[in-house]
Structure formats: structure tokens, C-alpha cells
Chain A
């Protein structure tokens, strides 16, 4: 059955090549599978891969040893590798590439793949596999990684014929990077990378069953433009899709011309400059008061590359109850999944948004702005400060000040993530990198490492917690070895802060297993033992010096241990089961 499918694919592939077949014929070469792999990756403009060797991928590593064009970064754990490739992808828009061995090598990538899948990040993961004649025999380091990763990959493959290898890789990159991007995995049995096959150099990929719609339907676009032109209280709700589609300029142009306010999701931060007057900041569970109120009160909602996640909507029946909704998304299954939408537009934001812009008259919304400005003035984000100890919010502001808002901020998951989202001012796309959908603790530091590898010319600050950092801190070794100058700012409150906050508010302050103080290491000494720089700030007046020292270091990672207020809570907060306008605003 599978052979037949392969045959058919080949036929389609060759069929689509007929016209240009001859011009490529001269480039055909007989190479080993591992040579085909490296050659194809280079042909696809891959410059860096994150990997970890092992038995099943030894032939590939031998080829890498003899190759100087492809940069291989030896990570210390495969989870770190997938997160690093994910950070690389988010910082550049190019697919992140990972190479690991069979069995445990593959299973260790699962968390990273799932993180990328739910946030629509293009990754291509190569796993080694036992030789084809041993598959299914419970061989040493054998795991059915294609089966394990099926629900968390956009597509995955087991290569059964070395002559399919090149095309499979090209198809994988095509699928990972087009439409709604996502992770793709290729499982490489050891005998496939060792045996000889044909490298064609043919670049064209044709997958007849996969043709993402990119152009929006014209009549839907004019309907949307009509709604927006006549709106009294319009709102743009922009998500990560704007970043994936590289449509930040189109969005900014549209919002500035029409003066329609913009709120972004956690994943969308940076797609609209927060310095613009139209910006309402982030909405949702820990969003700004004014963004959540605008969402509740608006009469026309334009959702752009956002998917009405439960952390954004709050209780569904209270979500934007009076608005007529327009939704632009590349993935039809995201439309009307959680919230019914009146005008669905399936297409690429970069393509659709300028079309809507063209047909929309600037609406008359002065009254709306009066309300918005009133909310902004009366309910600003709180950033408390203390004399004798560091408030976590103050720490974020200090980082924002020292980096002048120009850094790539990468976070882990929890309180620090929400404060970093709220209080750092994001004015550039691809400058805020975070695990939004899966909420993967341990994501931040390795993703920051990947972003720093991708963007050596920009400062990369990883804002993390004492809990999350300890999940993947071993990548310090990778950063030291490769002189990757990531600035790691630990918001050290000695707790799993966000869980503790929920325990305080909803479980009668019963701090069940959230106290980390009794086991936490001395992060400064820990950093030094790796050959990194360790710094500590316990008082507000020490923060600037620590940060300035850290920013000046460019040849190794820096760990900054900020000892912060242990029981500070993150507000505003929409409790689970509450509507967006039922925010808890805290004590201030």
C-alpha cells in the first residue's frame, strides 16, 4: 500500500516537472542518504541546525563532520533543541531545524514539537530510526516516533526509500512554512541514510491535496469593509497570524489611516507598535482593562490571525456580546470554532488586509475614542514600586529601560510572562517570543538561545522564573560553548508564582507544593560553574548596575538573579468562568 502511494507521489512529482526536467537533469548525482540530507538542507537555505548525536544518526554526523557550510549547534537535551529551533523560527520567520537520534532522542522532542504546533511555528525535525528491517521488533532505541508525533505535527514521514529522501525533505519544508505553518517530522531509518540514492536538485514541490487558500473572497472583503466603514465602535483584534504572515506593515497602515483601535493577543505582541496611539495593548486574562472593555463594548470586531482562545475570550456568553464579527484566518477550522462569526474570510492576512483597507472608509468614531481614552486614563496598568525590595513589575520596567525597548524578549511561562507581556513596550515584530498556546515551562531559555543564534546583532533577554529556568538550564553549556550572549533575567520569587497566585485567590492560600525555596540553587554560583557570568540584585537600587553590566557582556551568557517580592500578584486578572469585563484589578 505504501509503495503504491510513493509511486503515485513520484508520478505526480515527475509529472509536474516535465517542462523543466531537462534543465535539472545535469545536476543528478548519486549520493549517500546523509549526503542527500545535508545537500538538500543547504539547497533550502538552512544555515543552522540544532542537534544531538546517537547511534541511529551516526552516519549523518559523520557527514556533518566533513561539512563546513552547515552550522550544527550541539544542544544538551533534545527538548532544548526543539525549543531553540522554535526560538530561531520565531525570531526569523524561517523554519527551525532539529536533528536527533532514534528512541529517546525522538521522544525528548515531543514537548518542543507540541509547543510549536499549537503556536503555528514552522519546524522540521529529523529523527533517526532503527534500520527498516528492524522496525517493529522492539529494537534498541526504537520508538514509533511517527505514531507518537502524529497529533502534534502538521505532517510527518517515515522514509522507506532513499530515492524519496530529497523530495520528502523538500515537501516537508514546503508544508512546514506555507499555509498555517507548523512542525513537520521526518523519521530516517539508519539504512536509508547509509545507502546510496539519487539527488536531483529539482526544487519544485507539488502536493495536490494541499493547497492553502491565500486570497480572500471578494464579496466577503467588501462586506467586511462596509461593516468597518459604518462602525461606531470598531476594534481590531490582532493575533500571532499577523506575525506569521509578515503583515505588520499592512496592519499598522490600516489602523493608522482609519484610527481604529488595535488590541493584540499574547502571540500578536509586536505586530502593532505599542507606541502608536491606536494601541490598546494586550487583551485577555491578564490583558489591560481598556482592551478588555473595548472588546466587550465594541460593535464591529475585526479578528486578524487570532483564534478566539479561551485565555482571550473569558466566558463565551459574555465575550464581545454586541459586536458583528469579521474573522480573517488562513485556517478555516479556526473560524467559528469557539465564537460564531458573521463574516469569515479565509486567506492570508498579508493579502486580505490591504484589500479591506482599500474598500474601507474612515469611520466616524470620536465618541468611541472618548470612552477608550477615559478607560486608559482611569485604569492604567499598575507598576508598584518599593524602596527595600524589588517588585516584579519594577524589574520588567528596568529591563525595558536598559534595553530601550529594542531587545528580543523571550519568556518562560507564568507570572513573569504576563508582566513581561504587559509592561515591556513592544514596537517591533518578532521581538516577543513566548509559548502561548501550550504554556510550556522550560521553553524560555532554550528559545532565547535559538533567537540569539538567529539574531546575533540584537540583544536577547530571557525573562524567566526560578521554576521554569530550572527545567532547561542545562543549555547554559550550549551557550557557553558557542559564546551565545543571552541575558537571562530570573524573576526569583521562590515560588511557582502563577500557581501560587491561584492558590492564594481560589484555594484559600493553601500553597500546595509551589514553594521552591528549599531546593533552589545559588543561581550566581550555578552560572559561574558553567563558565557563564552570574549577577544578583536584591534591592531596587542594584537593578540598573546589574543590567548594565549584563548588557555589556557579549561573549557568554549572563544569569541575573533578581530576588523579588514573593507574593506579588499579577493583575488585572479575569478569573476562569468570568466574562472579560469582570476583571479583578488588585489592591491598588
Chain B
């Protein structure tokens, strides 16, 4: 997400480049209802916390949803965020994944201008990013990219030169890594 967008989502005017502000991915297990989701969003907005991305969907247990939030802040801010999340009655579990190994993925659908003359060039880039072409028309291509947030930003950067028509990004979803290789 670029700077101007993140400003819009930011309650407090804080220096985004401040060295003490780090990225955090927080996984929240919550009762699957809209009041709970609204309470979480309202808490971020009302207390001036950032949200870079948020995804909400069914989890493994019936009736519970998993929300993945990526946010930025110094340690005390992120500590407050996790504590305030706990205070939401419907929240079952809060985990700041940042402090342990985790896997995170984001999906983007990118529609680019692609006249026949430039298609092969685009397809090379698609291959490098292990992306997929999922729709084609005489002058446009729609590409599916999956990966962490940086990879998607990089893919977008490479594709920008062809002319981005539309972009849809999901925001991160994340789970802790089960096995880190240490025995």
C-alpha cells in the first residue's frame, strides 16, 4: 500500500519512516459476527492505530473467524493493540506473529494493458514471479500473483510500465510456521 493510501487509513499523524515503528502481523480468532468485526475496526480507528491490511474469513472451527491484520507501530503501541483486541468480548485469541516464524501470503489480481506486441514481455515477468495469467482479451491481461506483500509490490512495480488498468489486493493472511528446521 503506498504512502498516500496509508495516510488515509491512519488516525494519528505519525512519521511512517520512524525507525522504532516496525511492521506487525496480528492474527485474531474471533466469533464470526459483524458486530465483533466492527468492534475491532472501531477500536483501531477510535484509538488511533494503523491498519495496513486486514482480511476476514472463516477459520477451521465452525462459528469462528480468523482476522489477519498487518499494522505498524513501536513496541508499546503494538502491545496496546494486542491488549485492546483482547478486551473485545468476542475475541477468543490474539497472536502477534511477528515474534515467531510465520508464513504470510497475499493475493493480487492485476489487469494490465497488453497489446499483442508486448504480451511475451509481460509473460516473462509473470514467469519470474511465478504468477499466472487468468484472463486474456485482445488488448488486456489479468494476472494472479501470490506471495508476501513485498513480492506483490515488486510485481506491481515491474508491470506498471505496461499500464495498470485495475488492481485488487487481498491483504495478508498468515499462520505460524510449524517446523523451523531446528531439531
Task: Verify A5–B32 contact, CB threshold 8 A.
Answer: yes
Given known A-B contacts A4-B62, A332-B83, A332-B86, A209 and B34 have beta carbons under 8 A apart: no
Task: Verify B34–A1 contact, CB threshold 8 A.
Answer: yes
Q: Which of A147-155, A289-297, A351-359 touches B?
A: A147-155
Q: Does B87 contact A (CB under 8 A)?
A: yes
Task: Verify A1–B87 contact, CB threshold 8 A.
Answer: no
Cα A333 to Cα B31 in complex, Å, equals 21
Q: How far is the CB of B175 from chain A (nearest CB, A)?
A: 20
The residues of A that contact B34 with a CB separation of less than 8 Å are 1-2
Cα A2 to Cα B33 in complex, Å, equals 6
Q: How far is the CB of A327 from chain B (nearest CB, A)?
A: 13
Q: Which of B38-46, B122-130, B136-144 touches A?
A: B38-46
Task: Verify B80–A8 contact, CB threshold 8 A.
Answer: no
The residues of A that contact B30 with a CB separation of less than 8 Å are 209
Cα A5 to Cα B63 in complex, Å, equals 5
The residues of A that contact B84 with a CB separation of less than 8 Å are 333
Contact of B86 among A146, A157, A333 (CB under 8 A): A333
Task: Verify A4–B63 contact, CB threshold 8 A.
Answer: yes
Cα A7 to Cα B64 in complex, Å, equals 12
Q: Which residue of A lies closest to B62 (CB)?
A: A8
Cα A83 to Cα B108 in complex, Å, equals 51
Cα A9 to Cα B91 in complex, Å, equals 14
Cα A457 to Cα B46 in complex, Å, equals 42
The residues of B that contact A155 with a CB separation of less than 8 Å are 89-90
Given known A-B contacts A151-B46, A336-B79, A146 and B35 have beta carbons under 8 A apart: yes
Q: How far is the CB of B23 from chain A (nearest CB, A)?
A: 22
Q: Does A208 contact B (CB under 8 A)?
A: yes
Q: Does A466 contact B (CB under 8 A)?
A: no
Task: Verify A154–B89 contact, CB threshold 8 A.
Answer: yes
Cα A158 to Cα B34 in complex, Å, equals 11
Q: Does B154 contact A (CB under 8 A)?
A: no
Task: Verify A8–B63 contact, CB threshold 8 A.
Answer: yes
Task: Verify A4–B86 contact, CB threshold 8 A.
Answer: no
Q: Does A139 contact B (CB under 8 A)?
A: no
1/0 per residue A114-156: CB within 8 Å of B?
Answer: 0000000000000000000000000000000011001100111
Total interface residues on B, CB under 8 Å, equals 25
Q: Does A509 contact B (CB under 8 A)?
A: no
Interface of B is mostly: helix
The residues of B that contact A7 with a CB separation of less than 8 Å are 63
Cα A157 to Cα B36 in complex, Å, equals 10
Q: Does A331 contact B (CB under 8 A)?
A: yes
Cα A294 to Cα B84 in complex, Å, equals 32
Given known A-B contacts A209-B89, A331-B87, A5 and B80 have beta carbons under 8 A apart: no
Q: How far is the CB of B87 from chain A (nearest CB, A)?
A: 6
Contact of A336 among B42, B76, B86 (CB under 8 A): B76
Q: Does A337 contact B (CB under 8 A)?
A: yes
Q: Does A44 contact B (CB under 8 A)?
A: no
Contact of B39 among A150, A332, A337 (CB under 8 A): A150
Q: Does A476 contact B (CB under 8 A)?
A: no
Cα A105 to Cα B84 in complex, Å, equals 30
Q: Does A175 contact B (CB under 8 A)?
A: yes
Q: Does A207 contact B (CB under 8 A)?
A: yes
Task: Verify A5–B42 contact, CB threshold 8 A.
Answer: no
Task: Verify A207–B63 contact, CB threshold 8 A.
Answer: no
Q: Does B103 contact A (CB under 8 A)?
A: no
Q: How far is the CB of B89 from chain A (nearest CB, A)?
A: 4
Q: Does B158 contact A (CB under 8 A)?
A: no
Q: How far is the CB of A11 from chain B (nearest CB, A)?
A: 8
Q: Does A210 contact B (CB under 8 A)?
A: yes
Interface residues of B in 62-93 (CB under 8 A from A): 62-64, 76, 79-80, 83-84, 86-87, 89-92
How many A residues are at the interface, by size bracket? 20 to 34
Cα A2 to Cα B32 in complex, Å, equals 7
Most A-side CB within 10 Å, residue of B33, B38, B92 = B33
Q: How far is the CB of B133 from chain A (nearest CB, A)?
A: 34
1/0 per residue A206-218: CB within 8 Å of B?
Answer: 0111100000000
Contact of B32 among A1, A157, A331 (CB under 8 A): A1
Most B-side CB within 10 Å, residue of A209, A332, A336 = A209
Contact of A147 among B38, B64, B91 (CB under 8 A): B38
Cα A8 to Cα B59 in complex, Å, equals 14
Task: Verify A209–B91 contact, CB threshold 8 A.
Answer: yes
The residues of B that contact A208 with a CB separation of less than 8 Å are 92
Contact of B89 among A207, A331, A340 (CB under 8 A): A207
Q: Which residue of B lies closest to A8 (CB)?
A: B63
Cα A150 to Cα B31 in complex, Å, equals 16
Interface residues of B in 89-104 (CB under 8 A from A): 89-92
Q: How far is the CB of B119 from chain A (nearest CB, A)?
A: 42
Cα A489 to Cα B42 in complex, Å, equals 40
Interface residues of A in 159-212 (CB under 8 A from B): 175, 207-210
Q: Which residue of B lies closest to A337 (CB)?
A: B80
Q: Which residue of B lies closest to A158 (CB)?
A: B35
Task: Verify A333–B89 contact, CB threshold 8 A.
Answer: no
1/0 per residue B52-66: CB within 8 Å of A?
Answer: 000000000011100
The residues of A that contact B83 with a CB separation of less than 8 Å are 332-333
The residues of A that contact B89 with a CB separation of less than 8 Å are 154-155, 175, 207, 209-210
Task: Verify B90–A209 contact, CB threshold 8 A.
Answer: yes
Cα A147 to Cα B41 in complex, Å, equals 12
Q: Which residue of A lies closest to B84 (CB)?
A: A333
Cα A5 to Cα B31 in complex, Å, equals 7
Given known A-B contacts A1-B33, A209-B91, A150 and B62 have beta carbons under 8 A apart: no
Q: Which residue of B lies closest to A334 (CB)?
A: B83
Q: Which residue of B lies closest to A331 (CB)?
A: B87
The residues of A that contact B43 with a CB separation of less than 8 Å are 151
Cα A151 to Cα B48 in complex, Å, equals 13
The residues of B that contact A332 with a CB separation of less than 8 Å are 83, 86
Given known A-B contacts A147-B38, A333-B80, A336-B79, A209 and B87 have beta carbons under 8 A apart: no
Task: Verify B38–A150 contact, CB threshold 8 A.
Answer: yes
The residues of A that contact B92 with a CB separation of less than 8 Å are 208-209
Task: Verify A151–B31 contact, CB threshold 8 A.
Answer: no
Given known A-B contacts A150-B38, A151-B46, A336-B76, A5 and B91 have beta carbons under 8 A apart: no
1/0 per residue A1-43: CB within 8 Å of B?
Answer: 1101101110000000000000000000000000000000000
8 A–B contact pairs at CB < 8 A?
A7-B63, A146-B35, A150-B42, A208-B92, A210-B89, A331-B87, A333-B84, A336-B76
Supply 19 further A-B pairs (C-beta < 8 A) apart from A150-B35, A333-B84, A337-B80.
A4-B62, A8-B31, A8-B32, A8-B64, A151-B46, A154-B89, A155-B89, A155-B90, A175-B89, A209-B30, A209-B31, A209-B90, A209-B91, A209-B92, A331-B87, A332-B86, A333-B87, A336-B76, A340-B76
Chain B contacts to A: CB under 8 angstroms: 30-35, 38-39, 42-43, 46, 62-64, 76, 79-80, 83-84, 86-87, 89-92
The 7 lowest CB-CB distance pairs between A and B, nearest first, are A8-B63, A333-B83, A209-B92, A5-B33, A155-B89, A332-B83, A210-B89
